[in-house]
Amino acid sequence: MPENYSFTTHWYVRAPVEVVWETIRQSEAWPEWWKGMLSVKELEKGDERGIGSIREYRIKSPMNYTLFFRLSLTDRVEYQFLSGNATGELEGVGAWHFQTEGDITHVTCEWNVHTNLGWMNTFAFMLKPVFKFNHSLVMKWGAQSLAKRLNTEVRYN
């Protein structure tokens, strides 16, 4: 039986929303700067706004296992919102929200997924807290890596 996970992460980036938006939106470049991101490959372009585009993600967790999934962009509101449907070893919905608060861009990442890996589902009763910690650490790496990429300050929670 698939195990469900719901994660919400907040980044507070001292940079203009346009810069933060473009850095997050251009996920094919994530492996260049985000620790743990092994590869991101665009499989389909989608329409002129990217709706319908499909990207393939391979992520290495702190526990040294990899996760593979595809994400199809389903919604986009310029400088405010990106959302997509995931399929593969993770399945569900992911979304990025962007808000400006003075000179800070508040980024909220939401992930509502279930796992399709047999070993993860079999041992979820025991390892679910570890998987949650892994997700949190990958997102912390993302915040630290984004700060370095943009040469700015990023708070994380």
Q: What is the pLDDT of residues 82-130, one digit of tens each?
A: 999 999 999 999 999 999 999 999 999 999 999 999 999 999 999 999 9
pLDDT tens profile 140-149: 999 999 999 9
pTM for this entry: 0.95
Predicted local confidence at residue 1, as pLDDT: 83
Closest alpha carbon to 110 in 134, 83, 132: 83
pLDDT tens profile 10-46: 999 999 999 999 999 999 999 999 999 999 999 999 9
- Distance from the first to the final alpha carbon of the chain: 30
All structural domains of the chain, each given as residue ranges with its CATH number in brackets, are: 4-156 (3.30.530.20)
Closest alpha carbon to 69 in 60, 52, 56, 51: 56
